[in-house]
């Protein structure tokens, strides 16, 4: 037939546009792909054997019998319309079967899906790790906005910032309590100059002997060193900038002169 090349054995050709594979017994010089409508010359893209890259995806029997033949068109491009697939070994009146698509595009899509899933999993694990370690990371100012946002999503709380150098203890006094003999009354005022809420520090009081050595010491939390009215409030949110707190509590059985003492602030 004019414009066609007769093959002694089946050839395989491929649409250059959509990569659909076809089995052909003759090679027309012009044909139209039944999958995407692209016109191409099958004789320029043919082989006697199916490429090895398709062996993992196409079973042997199906690879030999289930590829459609490209219909020739002597004068004008013809449309190759794949017919329904037939079982291996089934006689085909027109020699056509359903087209087999290349799996490589599908592999790319699957690979991209795995990549996106891996990235989402990594982000989720990172967020979980940040939440679990939020108390240890809460003092890093650059991380606090991120930790606060994660806590808003997860419904958890972020403790106030700890900056010991920002605290100031003023008017610190330790004197005998006139109402309770043998007891010392500690007073003072706490404030800070930070730009955000700070967690209340621990207060350490050291009682010194005549040689200036520490004879007794104690470490007290906010619920102990604040006066009764202030201690009843919730201080888990810390102290806001510009605010101050009054210190007032008693030390029993100190047995030392009130002028031999030292106040220190410590982190929790």
Q: Supply the pLDDT for residue 261.
A: 85
> Does 205 lie in the same domain as 112?
no
Burial class of 183 by CB neighbour count within 10 A (0 to 12, 13 to 18, 19+): middle
> Is 206 a residue whose pLDDT tops 70?
yes
Please state, in angstroms and rounded to a whole number, the distance separating the CA atoms of residues 177 and 150.
Answer: 49
> Does 170 lie in the same domain as 83?
no
Percent of the chain whose pLDDT exceeds 90: 26
The total number of structural domains in the chain stands at 3
154, 179, 194 — which closes off a domain? 154
User: Which of 151, 145, 162, 259 lies closest to 201, judged by CA?
Assistant: 162
Instruction: Look up the domain containing 230 and give its range.
Output: 164-266
> Does 117 lie in the same domain as 64?
no
Average confidence score pLDDT of the chain: 75
The domain that contains 197 carries what CATH number?
2.60.40
> Does 181 lie in the same domain as 94?
no
Three-state secondary structure call for residue 178:
coil
Is 88 among the domain residues? yes
> Does 206 lie in the same domain as 176?
yes
> Does 119 lie in the same domain as 80?
no
> What integer is the mean pLDDT of 100-114?
62
pLDDT digits (tens, 9 = 90+) for 163-192: 999 999 999 888 888 888 878 888 999 999
User: Which of 107, 234, 236, 261 lies closest to 172, judged by CA?
Assistant: 261
82-96, 172-186, 206-220: which range is least confident on average? 82-96
106 pLDDT tier (thresholds 50, 70, 90): low
Is 159 among the domain residues? no
> Does 173 lie in the same domain as 189?
yes
> Does 225 lie in the same domain as 187?
yes
> Does 56 lie in the same domain as 85?
yes
| DSSP letter, residue 266 | E
> Does 44 lie in the same domain as 111?
no
Is 231 among the domain residues? yes
> Does 12 lie in the same domain as 90?
yes
Q: Which residue has the higher pLDDT, 137 or 45?
A: 137
> Does 97 lie in the same domain as 14?
yes
User: Which of 43, 9, 15, 16 lies closest to 27, judged by CA?
Assistant: 43
The reported pTM is 0.53
If phi > 0 it is left, if psi is from -120 to 50 it is alpha, else beta; for residue 255 that is left
Q: Using an 8 Å Cβ cutoff, are 221 and 202 in contact?
A: yes
154, 189, 218 — which closes off a domain? 154
């Amino acid at each position: 037939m004019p414009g066609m090349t007769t093959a002694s054995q089946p050839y395989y050709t491929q649409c250059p546009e959509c990569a659909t594979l076809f089995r052909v017994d003759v090679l027309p010089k012009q044909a139209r792909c039944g999958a995407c409508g692209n016109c191409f010359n099958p004789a320029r893209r043919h082989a006697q054997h199916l490429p090895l890259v398709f062996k993992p995806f196409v079973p042997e029997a199906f690879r030999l019998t289930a590829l459609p033949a490209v219909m020739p068109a002597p004068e004008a491009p013809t449309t190759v319309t794949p017919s329904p697939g037939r079982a291996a070994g089934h006689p085909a009146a027109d020699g056509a079967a359903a087209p087999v698509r290349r799996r490589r595009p599908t592999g790319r899509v699957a690979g991209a899906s795995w990549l996106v899933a891996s990235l989402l999993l990594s982000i989720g694990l990172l967020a979980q790790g940040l939440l679990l370690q939020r108390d240890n990371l809460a003092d890093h100012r650059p991380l606090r906005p991120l930790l606060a946002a994660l806590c808003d999503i997860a419904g958890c709380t972020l403790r106030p910032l700890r900056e010991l150098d920002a605290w100031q203890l003023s008017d610190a006094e330790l004197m005998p309590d006139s109402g309770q003999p043998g007891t010392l009354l500690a007073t003072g005022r706490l404030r800070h100059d930070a730009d955000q809420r700070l967690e209340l520090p621990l207060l350490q009081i050291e009682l010194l002997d005549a040689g200036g050595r520490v004879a007794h010491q104690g470490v007290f939390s906010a619920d102990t060193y604040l006066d009764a009215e202030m201690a009843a409030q919730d201080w888990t949110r810390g102290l806001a900038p510009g605010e101050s707190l009054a210190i007032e509590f008693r030390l029993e059985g100190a047995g030392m002169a009130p002028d031999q003492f030292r106040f220190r602030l410590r982190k929790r």
